Structure 1
Amino acid sequence: MSGTAKQWILHSVIFSLKHEKGSEAERKFLADGERILTSIPVVSNFRVYNQVSAKNDYDYGFAMEFASRADYEAYNEHPLHEQFVQERWESEVEKFLEIDYTKPNND
């Protein structure tokens, strides 16, 4: 099997919301994101973070792991992910940065 077929991926995104900090809309977005995205079977170790570094101006983070490139691609194409992006992410997220990691020599 080639390394890319079973390559582990840590998918992360840091973002800021259009909602006021501490608002019910903020709480609902973060909770709904976790609930919806963790219901996709290929997602593991999903985490929600408050971003605290003074070196950037993002506020939150989502991180999750995939066992393989195929699982990562299945997540990106999953109807629940696509629906969350279209119905919530595009209208409620002010800005974001996506970062995906693999382990060196990850076979």
Structure 2
Amino acid sequence: MTLENGAIRHMAIFTLKYPKDAPETEQFLEDGRRILTGIPVVRNFEVLRQTSPKTDFDFGFSMEFASQADYDAYNAHPDHVKFVEERWKKEVVRFQEIDFVNV
């Protein structure tokens, strides 16, 4: 799938404080999918599991936004803010965010 002009692909790659196969890990990933896909501007959401030995991050959330305005709306959305405050900051031990646009 090609990223449309003006669209943003946002990726957050991360490691949780739980073992990769723990029930708490699966719950976090499921809750992230449910909560973040409930935000209307989120498109093409994916939960990803790392397979490369070249990085020590375990998981990723990938999503697209049609525009910078949609991305800004996502960041300010109460469900996103709540997820970050109540789950992300407490359960994620390391992360990196990457945002791409088509060139």
Alignment TM-score > 0.5, same fold:
yes
Amino acid at match of 2:22: S
**Residue type matched to 2:71 in 1?**
Y
1:60 alignment counterpart: 59
How far off its partner does 1:38 sit? 0.1
Q: Scaled by the length of structure 1, what TM-score is found?
A: 0.90
* 2:79 counterpart of 1:80: yes
Counterpart amino acid of 1:53?
S
In 1, Cα distance between equivalents of 2:20 and 2:7 = 34
Percentage of identical aligned residues: 55
Q: How does 1:1-107 map to 2 (within 5 A)?
A: 7-104=6-103
1:29-55 per-position Cα deviation (integer Å, ceiling 9, x unaligned): 000000000000000000000011111
Paired residue total = 99
Which ranges of structure 2 fall in alignment gaps of 5 or more residues? none
Larger radius of gyration: 1
Q: Which runs of 5+ in 1 are unaligned?
A: 1-5
- Give every structure 1 segment of 4 or more consecutive aligned residues whose post-TM-superposition deviation is greater than 3 Å: none
Structure 2: how far apart are the matches of 1:22 and 1:12?
22
What amino acid maps onto 1:70 in structure 2?
A
Q: Deviations over 1:56-107 (max 9, x none)?
A: 1000000000000000000000000000000000000010010000001xxx
